[in-house]
Amino acid sequence: METTVKRATIYLDEVLHKALKIKALETSRSISDLVNSAVKEALAEDAEDLAAFENRAKEPLLSYDEMVKRLKKNGRI
């Protein structure tokens, strides 16, 4: 399956750009490839977080005090 590539202009902090250039050279990858990978990873983490939130949406809510009591009871704090 062929992926359509779109051009976008992004503005990077100078130090971040320099670090990306170095990493691109060291890994024989382009800056675009590094940025695409990082964005995909961040979006995947967001999707995991949203899925976890949806899975727990029907759980009963606990007050802060109740949560502290449970943590103490279980020896976590």
Residue with tokens 């009591």: 69
pLDDT tens readout for residues 12-54: 999 999 999 999 999 999 999 999 999 999 999 999 889 888 8
| Cβ pair 25, 36 in contact under 8 A | no
Give domain limits for the chain.
14-73
How many CB atoms are located within 10 Å of the residue 61 CB?
6
* pTM, rounded to two decimals: 0.63
Rounded Cα gap, residues 38 and 19, in angstroms = 14
Q: How confident is the model at residue 1 (pLDDT cuts 50, 70, 90)?
A: low
Sign of CA dihedral 35, 37, 41, 47: positive
